[in-house]
Copies of this chain bind each other. A is one copy, B any other.
Amino acid sequence: MTWGESHGPAIGCVVDGTPPGIALTDDDIQFWLDRRRPGQSRFTSQRQEPDVVRILSGVFEDDNTKGQVTTGTPISLVIENIDQRSKDYSNIKDKYRPGHADYTYDAKYGLRDYRGGGRQSARETACRVAAGAIARKILGDGITIRGALVQIGTMNVDREQWNWDQVEQNAFWCPDSEMAAEWENYLDDIRKKGSSVGAVIEIVAQGVPAGWGAPLYGKLDSDLAAAMMSINAAKGVEIGSGFATAAFSGEENADEMRIEDGKPVFKSNHAGGILGGISSGQDVIARFVVKPTSSILAPRKTINRNGEETEIVTKGRHDPCVGIRAVPVGEAMMACVLADHLLRHRGQMGA
């Protein structure tokens, strides 16, 4: 399975390798796109992008199929971009916004498309979510993939208060209702100042059987790291207890095993469900950090295309914490990686 994408008047996406006969409608994909959509609270960008997806190919319906299903051939999608304000770009046209990719694009390509954030925009993630929706269909109902925001700034959720139901009930995908209330005040303050802050997202996949992945080429954790780090603004990825394991002793870290109801169980999950590049049957847990939005109101020192020193202030409809909208994207990347590994595992092992 692959996901493709491109940025401009529309976003495209091709998914290859999907098994045939899976029920799949535009609505099945739209459901997940709507979760990523900006403008849903005052804490995300006020751009209005309806993000309407249209399946171009790879599905079919007739009397025998009981509704629209995948054909097994490549599925392609398109999401038209509507809200592209033809605003004045003279401010950012020749200046490099610190923290943005303006400078690196120019350094590589000698030119860049600066409109609407251009190719750098996180708008690209819409098609990741679309591909993720198909990946969830491939994985089936036995596997549940959920994401949550676990840290904004220095404020962490209390894991004792973790409640997945809460995640859908606040503007932050926060599993801890008390922390959600605190974040609301905190982010309001940041938003009013025109500043921004970073965040940590945790993605949990339940129901992944033991055995997906490989010892060397195609390690499950390596593929997850690549997928999560490829998300806009991501600066770190960890699996299970991640960086905390540096301070663990071998005794603490090694998840002990027992038998319960005739099945192997682990007494802890520091490994995040992956040992030696292969899933262990425990929850697969990945966490990634998203840096603060670089588009802020405070003036920042920078240079321009002509190599002159200058300052820049980035106005626009930006996210005070772009990490919020990264939650559905992280879920989608987990789904894509797992669907890939389901297919590869089945190829090698036959079931």
Identify the stretch in A27-35, A171-179, A339-347 within 8 Å (CB) of chain B at 4 or more residues. Answer: A339-347
Number of copies: 4
Given A5-B74, A153-B246, A229-B221 contact (CB < 8 Å):
yes
Q: Interface residues of A toward B: which range?
A: 35 or more
Given A104-B276, A235-B239, A76-B210 contact (CB < 8 Å):
no
A161 CB-CB contact with B under 8 Å: no
Identify the stretch in A42-50, A129-137, A162-170, A253-261 within 8 Å (CB) of chain B at 4 or more residues. Answer: A253-261
A242 CB-CB contact with B under 8 Å: yes
Please provide the chain A residues from 96 to 110 with a CB less than 8 Å away from any CB of chain B in the complex. Answer: 96-101, 103-105, 107-110
Which residue of B has the minimal Cβ distance to A138? B348
A296 CB-CB contact with B under 8 Å: yes
Q: Is the CB of B6 within 8 A of A348?
A: no
Cα–Cα distance between A199 and B109 once the two chains are bound (Å): 39
Given A248-B197, A256-B98, A349-B108 contact (CB < 8 Å):
yes
A67 CB-CB contact with B under 8 Å: no
Most chain B beta-carbon contacts within 10 A, residue among A19, A112, A275, A289: A275
Q: Is the CB of A294 within 8 A of B253?
A: yes
What chain B residues lie within 8 Å of A4 (beta carbons)?
Answer: 4, 14, 74, 76
A146 CB-CB contact with B under 8 Å: no
A147 CB-CB contact with B under 8 Å: no
Cα–Cα distance between A219 and B56 once the two chains are bound (Å): 21
A215 CB-CB contact with B under 8 Å: yes
A111 CB-CB contact with B under 8 Å: yes
CB proximity of A302 to chain B, nearest CB, Å: 5
A142 CB-CB contact with B under 8 Å: no
Seed contacts A57-B119, A216-B230; 7 additional CB < 8 Å A-B pairs: A8-B57, A16-B217, A21-B109, A99-B254, A197-B249, A221-B230, A223-B226
